[in-house]
Structure 1
Amino acid sequence: MKFAHLADTHLGYRQYGLFEREIDFYDVFNDIISKIIEERPDFVIHSGDLFEFSRPPTNALLRVQKGLLALKDAGIPVYAIAGNHDMIMRKNALPPHVLFKEMGLKIISPNNPFFIKEDVFIGGTPYVSKHQSTYLTESLKKLEIMSKDYDKRILVLHQGIDKYLPFEYELELANIPESFNYYALGHIHARITDDYGQGKLAYPGSTEIWKIDELGNYQKNGKGFYMVDMDGDVPEIESINMEMPREFIRAEINYPELTAEIEKIKNIVLSLPKKPLLNLTVEGGNFNRSEVYDELNKVFTDICLSLRPNFKSQSLIDAQEILKDGSALNPHKLIIEQLKSFENQKITDLALSLFNEMSSGNVENAEEVSKKFYEEFYDN
């Protein structure tokens, strides 16, 4: 028996506010549906974050409808859970997945925690935040009991695990039952496969580049989905790589070679079939940020879909090195000292994370840190 495992499609995401990026995510999803039909698996598992929002835009709903109908026509059922982006963290809130039940989407939920497909147990739970970890652990124990009489057992989760996401996890590896043959995970956007329990634990990763820091893993491991063969004693996992609609380019420019480096990158950009997303860091030497920005903007604005520059002049680098030492100017110590009155380590951790991201120019990462904190502690 074979099945396709994917996750984190984030349909409806308009990266950097660009309509073209929303379309890119749809195009990859369409390509994956076509590839799955070509591969002819027995079923599909989607491990959460089908959508970017709990109230997806109409285009996202229509793309999912088209994809599910194509799979239904091909006789390929789809099993899915809701991820943190798919749902409002509120009791009894329903994810948008319920709109597609009539089209054959089989939703794994607290009210319907498992399905059986030809003696294969497919069970799991939608995303659970860290402050409900006790509930999650109890749910996993119940699933272990429910699955014990089946020959093959698949556990579907959308959670960060401490081993793979040490600072933002919701679930400890030690609390996951070891009785399953395949652990179909979502939430972490990097591709991960590991031995666990009676088989394999796997994150297929996001299907598109959702954040710039995913670029390294994409270049190393690709993006797409997994084809999983359950016929042997241990599942065999095959990575199916999909071609991204456009290039992400991340480059560092040494300021003394600014003109030559700009020309080199310009030639690369002009050789591409679609306008890329360009992330540049100019560093070294002392320079006027405004003048360098104007130069970059003049060259790249018309030939790139997005230009996102960062600047690290030598004076800034020197200042950062000074602040890293143990002096009273150390900003991390100042933040910790100022927030002592809250008596809440989570608030201190949030402030430190935001400082680290913002001081490095990673506004996108800072926004995501803030969003996760709000969803976990206030949006319920």
Structure 2
Amino acid sequence: MLTLSHIADTHLGHRQYGLKQREDDMVSTVRAALDEMIEVRETDVILLPGDLFHSRDLRPKILHQIEKELEQVPDEIPVLVSRGNHDENLTPRDVTWLNYLHQRGQIVFLEAELQADPETAWFNPYNPNEPGHSAGFYDIDTEGLDGPVRVFGLQWRGAKTGQALQQVADGIQETNEMHGEPAWTVLLGHFGIEDEVPTLGGTVTHGELRNLKDVVDYLALGHIHKRYESGGWIYNPGSPEAHNTREGRPEWDHGYYSIELDAEESETGGDVAGFEVEHHPTKRRPYYRIEFDVTAYESPGDLEAAFQDHVRDEEAAITEYCSQDEFTANGEPRAPIIDLRFTGTLQFSRGDFRTDELAAWTEDTCDALYVQVNTGIRTANVQQLLSEIDEDEVFKDGKLNTTALENRVFETIANESIYADQADDVAEVLGNAHQMAQAEEAVEDIRDSVSSARQELFPELADDVVLDIEEDPFIDDEAAEEASDGTTDDEAEGETEEVMEQ
């Protein structure tokens, strides 16, 4: 019997919403999962196909934390890791933190050599005496099997994944001919598959996996943060933590797999007779959605009173939801992240709709860690604009002039916002952001563009912003507490500036 554990997308170092507590959540969730794998599942091997880290540019403290966690894994349990898009982009550096951990013997970093031969990937065997910067495959000798359980790694390839998979299939076959046939084969990969998660899409089709299935028994995936399985050989466990409000929905499963190989009942006496896969939810921070329709309220006061009644009515449901086992810590519900969504048509000026004040009240009332506001509302003026807009203005030669329509909408939104004094400039900023989004530019670039424009147009709104100065990255948590003279993390953390709402 051999037991493997499959976890992915740990994103260590992700300080979500600028909160130190969320950065700590990423570590504590992984720690609890590793402890469970070792103590309860009695795992022999840990598989991690990509996004061990949230960024390739690590602060020293994050690297120190993961090294401490890996030190708790017994030496006889290998941690096999492939590279994800957050660990490294498609123009890799000569040495990454994965290379560093590999050379220190804390992980085995697996990747394919794809450049030497355009037809076939090359996989070097792992040599513990000369580990190098990485390896191509790792053999696990298992009692009762004629051959090893062989684990290969394929790094993130983005749009080139389909091409790489054919190279990998040929490379695995060539490797087996050279090093002997394995009893069972695993491939670590970091990519999505079409149709497995609706609306997310993917870079790989099932057709592109056809040749791979001939040489791989278990495809251990990461990248998509929702659990899914396909064909009895493709498994994606979902990230241990949710990383946005969509991922926090109840229908998104998060956790890890345990895989038990059965060698004892093999009819041939030397091959894997079968395997059983079980999914286990991870201990994590809960998300809870509150929706509120603003349509019925004629004034800010009426809306605020009705909203507060609505949230109070949700309190019992929030407590019950957060009391589920995966959301508790030491038997107590953990403070949730609230996904606060406003919908409908606003009957008064958008500038009088103070979502920040409603969010702060909700955070306090619900004992929430954080409240993420999402507004899907229209003002009455925007609604009227859409119903009365001049067709001659937005239609040219029978075709919709989307630019003219967008400009009118953005101007109306700007006039209905707290930025109405410079509505034309704000409308231009919104239009530019929309064009960047249509061009599929990076979210970070869009955010920085809007934030920079906001600072130029409204410098007075940045007066109360406090810079979030990182703690000393080399000081441990106990020493930090002693040196802080009682100041809490929440008090020391500055608020981060929000970009303009559209």
Alpha carbons of structure 1 residues 320 and 110: separation in structure 2 relative to 1, 3 Å = farther
| Map of 1:339 onto structure 2 | none
Residue of 175, 187, 191 corresponding to 2:223: 187
Alpha carbons of structure 1 residues 294 and 115: separation in structure 2 relative to 1, 3 Å = closer
Query: 3-state DSSP class of the match of 2:98?
Result: helix
| Map of 2:82 onto structure 1 | 81
Does the CA-based 8 Å contact 2:238-2:253 persist in structure 1? Answer: no
Question: More helix per residue: 1 or 2?
Answer: 1
| Map of 1:155 onto structure 2 | 187
Q: What is the 5 A alignment of 1:202-351? A: 202-216=235-249, 219-220=250-251, 222-231=253-262, 233-244=273-284, 246-255=285-294, 256=296, 257-265=306-314, 273-287=333-347, 288-289=349-350, 290-293=352-355, 295-302=357-364, 303-311=367-375, 312-313=377-378, 315=380, 331=402
Using CA pairs below 8 Å that are at least 6 residues apart, which structure has the higher relative contact order?
Answer: 1
Query: 3-state DSSP class of the match of 1:249?
Result: strand
Does the CA-based 8 Å contact 2:9-2:238 persist in structure 1? Answer: yes
Does the CA-based 8 Å contact 2:293-2:343 persist in structure 1? Answer: yes
Q: Which runs of 4+ in 1 moved over 6 A?
A: 317-323, 332-335, 350-353, 368-371
Alpha carbons of structure 1 residues 150 and 355: separation in structure 2 relative to 1, 3 Å = same
Alpha carbons of structure 1 residues 353 and 142: separation in structure 2 relative to 1, 3 Å = farther
Alpha carbons of structure 1 residues 20 and 253: separation in structure 2 relative to 1, 3 Å = same
Does the CA-based 8 Å contact 1:122-1:155 persist in structure 2? Answer: yes
Alpha carbons of structure 1 residues 330 and 27: separation in structure 2 relative to 1, 3 Å = farther
TM-score by length of 1: 0.78
Query: CA separation in 2, counterparts of 1:235 and 1:161?
Result: 23
Residue of 108, 111, 115 corresponding to 2:138: 115
How many pairs does the alignment contain?
A: 342
Alpha carbons of structure 1 residues 366 and 54: separation in structure 2 relative to 1, 3 Å = closer
Does the CA-based 8 Å contact 2:5-2:47 persist in structure 1? Answer: yes
Does the CA-based 8 Å contact 1:223-1:242 persist in structure 2? Answer: yes
Residue of 24, 49, 52 corresponding to 2:51: 49
| Map of 1:344 onto structure 2 | none
Alpha carbons of structure 1 residues 369 and 235: separation in structure 2 relative to 1, 3 Å = farther
- For 2:153, give the aligned amino acid: G
Based on CA coordinates, which of the two structures has the bigger radius of gyration?
2
Query: CA separation in 1, counterparts of 2:167 and 2:218?
Result: 19
- CA drift of 1:89 comes to 2.5
Query: CA separation in 1, counterparts of 2:236 and 2:161?
Result: 22
Q: What is the 5 A alignment of 1:97-112? A: 97-101=98-102, 102-110=104-112, 112=135
Q: Report the RMSD for the aligned CA atoms in angstroms.
A: 3.5
Query: 3-state DSSP class of the match of 2:9?
Result: coil
Query: CA separation in 2, counterparts of 1:163 and 1:147?
Result: 32
Question: Once the two structures are aligned, what percentage of the paired residues are identical?
Answer: 23
- For 1:53, give the aligned amino acid: S
Stretches of structure 1 that go unaligned for 5 or more consecutive residues are: 336-349, 358-364, 372-380
**1:107-130 superposed Cα distances (whole Å, 9 cap, x missing partner):** 102352211111011012111121
TM-score by length of 2: 0.60
Stretches of structure 2 that go unaligned for 5 or more consecutive residues are: 114-134, 142-147, 263-271, 297-305, 323-332, 407-432, 448-502
Does the CA-based 8 Å contact 1:181-1:234 persist in structure 2? Answer: no
Residue of 133, 140, 165 corresponding to 2:169: 140
- CA drift of 1:167 comes to 6.1
- For 2:18, give the aligned amino acid: G
Query: 3-state DSSP class of the match of 2:289?
Result: strand
